[in-house]
Structure 1
Amino acid sequence: MDRCESQPEVVDRDGPTAVAKRILPGDKEEKTIGDDFQWEYLEFDTSLPDFTTMISESSLIKPPNLQKYGNPFEWSRPQKNVTLFLCCISTFLAAYGAGEYGFTGETLRSEWNLSLVAFETGLTVFAFGFAIAPMFLAPFTEINGRRPVFLLSGLLLLIATIGCAVTDSFAGMLIARLFAGIGSSTYSTIIGGVIADVWQSKDRNVPMAVYSGFALGGTGMGPLISGIICDRVSWRWVFYSHAISVAVVLCCQLLLFKETRGSILLSRRAKAINSYYDILDEHTKQTGSPRVSPKIRYKVLADEQRQSLAEMLRVSLTRPFIMLSTEPVVFFFSLWAAFAWGVLYMTFNVLSLVFQARHNFTLTGQAGVFAAMVIGVIVATLLSVYHERIAAKHLPGMSASPEGRLYFTCIEAMLLPIGLFWFGWTSYSSIHWIVPTIAIGFATIGVYSVYLAVFNYLADVYHRYASSALAGQSFCRNTFGAVFPLFTSQMFLALDFPGASSLLGGIGLVLTLVPWVLVFKGPQIRARSKLASEIMSTAH
């Protein structure tokens, strides 16, 4: 797979099992140095001698600790769970940053004399940074690994969030929000790659479901907490509290988050072994003792196949858009996910608008409505975890094709348009507020099912090109998230709440046909795609 990681990547060309061939004596690629050393490609399962038996004369030459560079697929369950927890809490804080901004509007608009549209650009620039940054940052995870990019992005998010808290101008807020979006984007999008590094494909459903739950749960928790804060203390504490949380998680990552990228670990493993052999050889020369190190040195295939940084940037910035324009599956799935994400970002304005105008809710009351989103995400996450168990028990043939992942989605995704119709036509003051609130929870389940289905299906179909396909949908998704809030209030005030919700519900209903079409016609559609048909034929 090319290395564009603008979405939670679930297939990794350079994963721990993909550096696959060893050079044996007589092969054309055999290479020697000074007619003494033979180079071999290192794999995680390469047989190595017992280092502790190589030196008997000196205990000062300590063998390398290769456990630090072990195969992430073989990590212990506790270590995998710690990694997943750090990933999930990170993406939660990234998503939290998107929703925390809205409830500061009442104070900031008055303090800085802003129109509603001008204020909403603070959400737009955040989403724009979220959409663009991963395409530039993706190649650096291939060169430097996940951990450095992960930590630096967290540091950038921390600094930008503090900037939001201390700024005294709207221009400063916009700049800080842009960099907060850039930092958050890596937190959110690189985690799919981390999950692919640590879990085999057959084991990824649960960690991906949990990850998706934290991503959408953070989006709902942001306005929930920030609304309560704004109703009691200064708006600056919305960002101060977020910055404190980011700082704590960043410290935990610094201590507990280990590199997961297989090719990087193999390179470090090869370097450690080669350095040890060099030390042994030097010891042999100095003491005149018999040679104990083997006449080999190791290298990693992925290092040799890696393109230049300029070429990787070119691929990261162009291939997602090429696939959007040439692959119908990528285009329609991206449109579907983008619409769902745009609706999700609309809720930051709509819920406050409805419950303040129709039910006279206080700021804390408006914030409390977002608990319905959080509950909806929890329910959706539990459902997706049990889908796999149900399928394994009653539908064992589901995983035979990529369309097997869409059976449950076809039903659950319909909750998005249903929830939109339900919310709009029950938003009258004469109807109890709990009725439209429940509708929000159902619509959120629909958004979650779309979010997870798009990742899983594109990864299954496009394999080594999956990260580019997912990068394209991520760009579309976050672009819609950036644009939709700019006209949300105007649309709902012009069309009234039932009319605006019905318009959105109708669009959502049409887009819900996408998984149904693929369930019945997916194999034929994939057969017409040059990329998909080539990949699927290779897989078989």
Structure 2
Amino acid sequence: MITWDGPDNPQDPFNWPPRKKWWTVGLGLLASFVCSMNGSILAAAHEAIAEDFGISDGPFPHSYWTTTSWGVGAALFPLLLFPALEDWGVRPVLLGVYFCFVCLLVPIGFAPNYATLGAVRFFSGGCVPLMSDAVASMAANVFQGAKARSVPVALYVLVYLGATSLGPVVGAAVLRQQHLSWRWIGHVELIVTGALLPLFYVGLPESRGGAILRAKAKKMRSGEGSTLAYMADEADPTPLRQRLVSSLTRPLDMFFTEWVVFVSAIWAAFSLGTIYLFTHSVDQVYGKLYGWTPVQAGFIQTAIVAGEVLGTALSLATNHWYEASAARNTEVPGTPIPEARLYAAIIGGFVGVTGGMLVYAWAAWATVHWMVITVGLTLVGAGTTAVLISIANYLIDAYSEYAASALAAVGLAENLAVAFLPLASSVLYTDLGFQWASTLLGLVSAVLAAMPFVVIRWGKEIRDRSPFMKEATIDRKRDLGVVVDV
């Protein structure tokens, strides 16, 4: 049975030198960044696409179907495929999915009709979260412990959100060159992502410890003497089909039976869906109030990116609150309380998202300078980032080995919101008006931001009632040598 040769084995990714750890995670973040822009990069070109293919946005915003098909693919593919891909190791998954993604960028610039564009976007949308999940695995594979993972998880969320918000900016930059059509957005994206493929192929090491040991066992079996060497999970008699069904159904089961997962999923879905909604609503708001073109409005997304950087800084700056909670933890003494991860989310939810929405709402008058409502966008970006980082860290701490399933449930809800919430932007801001549309979103945010108070107040009782959380708590106690009555 192949295991690590002692706790200090240099091949164990947890024992890698810091430079190698950050090189590995950095390459993954770069791959996630260049690909995550794909979700929103066509937002600035929706009018040009509609004109090219004869698509009408009245009475329904048909030109936004490219975003919807992308979001549906992003929701379905990880749920169906990632459990199977996980057994192959991170390197082959990331490289394989990245290569498929590059190939799917080719038809975007040459799509002969709108249906082709929508179909290609569906499959490219499925690739991006598969790759992002692989990147998230890297952080867990090389950084051991909640404290060590805090910065990588924060950067992972920042890169995903920042790339999403920068997508319209890149699209607008291409369209600003008046001699280039919207198809050059696809061409430019293809050139950049294709050029990076050799770097990832040469420089990305395998970071999943199980995959490294499995490769070692396979090599020993095929060498001289045909040693009977196996990994522990290779001796698992559970059929692959059964494991896939379990991996597929557990996130759905947790979504409908775990109150914490359900609320976290709804809150995260609303937050991320709002970012995508803004990629469309800014066209309406800045266009009607200030006469801006979609290309000009696309550049305003940089304000959201600035906010996302601030939100990441807030999350990292408040990490000491989480660490300080260990001193008052009576349940598992000496370890931080999982609910302490949510302090930054409360600030982000109330001050950032709710406050930013109200600024974006009630400063939306032609007589008010455009910089004022742009401050509202910055606040929303900061608040959304703080919320998503807090939720991710909280679910990882509270659910331990079931965190992947909890995060999969959240990811499903997020991508469905990405798919369908932007479709409501046109009607929402037209029928309710700029002021009341954003106010409604702000009120929803305020209600969701109040939920952590319930979790913080009754955290122990909630964990005792949850079989998944209870098992994670028992594991933490056993790791500390505490006698556990089962």
TM-score > 0.5, shorter chain as reference: yes
1:418 aligns with 2:355: yes
Residue in 2 that maps onto 1:114? 55
Say if 1:151 and 1:360 are closer, same or farther in 2 by CA, change over 3 A.
same
For residues 465-494 of structure 1, the C-alpha deviation after alignment (integer angstroms, 9 at most, x for no partner) is: 111111111101110111111111111000
Q: Distance in 2 between matches of 1:339 and 1:228?
A: 28
Alignment partners' CA distance in 2, 1:395 and 1:467: 24
Identity %: 28
CA offsets per residue over residues 52-73 of structure 1, 9 Å max, x none?
Answer: xxxxxxxxxxxxxx97xx1111
Alpha-carbon distance in structure 2 between the residues aligned to 1:228 and 1:331: 39
Alpha-carbon distance between aligned partners in 1 of 2:237 and 2:82, rounded to the nearest angstrom: 13
Q: Distance in 1 between matches of 2:232 and 2:388?
A: 34
Q: Deviations over 1:66-99 (max 9, x none)?
A: 97xx111111222111111111111112320111
1:486 pairs with one of 409, 423, 426: 423
Aligned partner of 2:275 in structure 1 is 344
Q: Count residues in correspondence.
A: 465
Q: Does 1:266 align with 2:217?
A: no
Return the alpha-carbon distance in structure 2 between the equivalents of residues 77 and 248 of structure 1. 27
Q: Distance in 2 between matches of 1:358 and 1:454?
A: 36
Q: Deviations over 1:224-270 (max 9, x none)?
A: 11012113221111111111121122221111111111111111223
Give the distance between the partners of 1:307 and 1:489, measured in 2 at CA: 50
Q: Residues 441, 262 of structure 1: CA spacing in aligned structure 2 closer, same or farther, 3 A cutoff?
A: same
Query: Take 1:78 and 1:531, find their aligned partners in 2: how far apart are those partners?
Result: 35
- 1:32-181 correspondence runs (5 A): 41-46=1-6, 70-116=11-57, 117-181=61-125
Q: Cα deviation per residue 1:91-136 (whole Å; 9 max; x = unaligned)?
A: 1123201110111111111121112322111100101111110122
Cα distance in 1, alignment partners of residues 303 and 7 from structure 2: 54
Select which of 163, 172, 185 maps to 1:218: 163
Matches within 5 A, 1:66-465: 70-116=11-57, 117-201=61-145, 202-232=147-177, 233-273=180-220, 275=222, 278=225, 297-305=228-236, 307-388=238-319, 392=323, 400-414=336-350, 415-465=352-402
* Residue 500 (structure 1) shift: 0.5
Which one scores higher on RCO, CA 8 angstroms, separation ≥ 6? 1
Does the CA contact (< 8 Å) of 2:143 and 2:149 recur in 1?
yes
TM-score in terms of structure 1 length: 0.82
Alpha-carbon offset, residue 340 of structure 1: 0.8
- Give the Å deviation of 1:392: 4.9
Q: Which moved more, 1:171-180 or 1:187-196?
A: 187-196
Q: Which residue of 1 aligns with 2:481?
A: none
Instruction: Tell whether the 8 Å contact from 1:220 to 1:374 is kept in structure 2 after alignment.
Output: yes
Detail structure 1 runs of 4+ shifted over 4 Å in the superposition.
Answer: 273-277, 389-399
Cα distance 1:251–1:307, how it changes in 2: closer, same or farther (>3 A)?
farther
Cα 1:527/1:461, change in 2 over 3 Å: same
One-letter identity of the residue aligned with 1:239: G
Shift of the 364–395 alpha-carbon distance from structure 1 to 2, 3 Å rule, reads farther
Q: Deviations over 1:8-61 (max 9, x none)?
A: xxxxxxxxxxxxxxxxxxxxxxxxxxxxxxxxx22213599xxxxxxxxxxxxx
CA distance in 1, matches of 2:472, 2:322: 25
Letter in 2 for 1:319: R
Q: Contact between 2:2 and 2:217, CA under 8 Å: does it hold in 1?
A: yes
| Deviation larger for 501-510 or 372-381 | 372-381
* TM superposition shift of 1:373: 1.0
Query: Does structure 2 retain, via aligned residues, the 8 Å contact 1:94–1:185?
Result: no
The one-letter amino acid of 2:219's match is A
Q: Return the index of the structure with the highest Cα Rg.
A: 1
Gaps of at least 5 residues in structure 2 are: 330-334, 478-486
Equivalent-residue separation in structure 2 for 1:530 and 1:367 (angstroms): 46
Question: RMSD value over aligned CA atoms?
Answer: 2.1
> Are the structure 2 counterparts of residues 391 and 318 from structure 1 closer, same or farther at C-alpha, using a change threshold of 3 Å?
closer
Q: Answer 1 or 2: which has greater helix percent.
A: 2
Gap change, CA 1:524 and 1:393, over 3 Å in 2: closer
Distance (whole Å) between structure 2 residues aligned to residue 301 and residue 330 of structure 1: 30
The one-letter amino acid of 2:218's match is K
Q: What is the distance in 2 between the residues matched to 1:262 and 1:476? A: 30
SS at match of 2:119: helix
Higher deviation after alignment, 521-530 or 326-335: 521-530
The residue type equivalent to 2:123 in the other structure is F
Q: Deviations over 1:154-173 (max 9, x none)?
A: 11111111211111210110
**What is the aligned partner in structure 1 of residue 480 from structure 2?**
none
CA contact (8 A) 1:417 1:509 kept: yes
Cα pair 2:93 2:131 within 8 Å, conserved = no
3-state SS of paired residue (2:432): helix
Residue among 469, 476, 484 paired with 1:532: 469
- C-alpha spacing 1:355/1:306, structure 2 compared with 1 (3 Å): farther
Distance 1:449 1:517 in 2: 18
Q: Give the Cα–Cα distance (whole angstroms) in 2 for the partners of residues 344 and 127 of structure 1.
A: 13
Residue-by-residue CA offset, 1:170-200 (whole Å, 9 max, x unaligned): 0110111011101112122222111111110
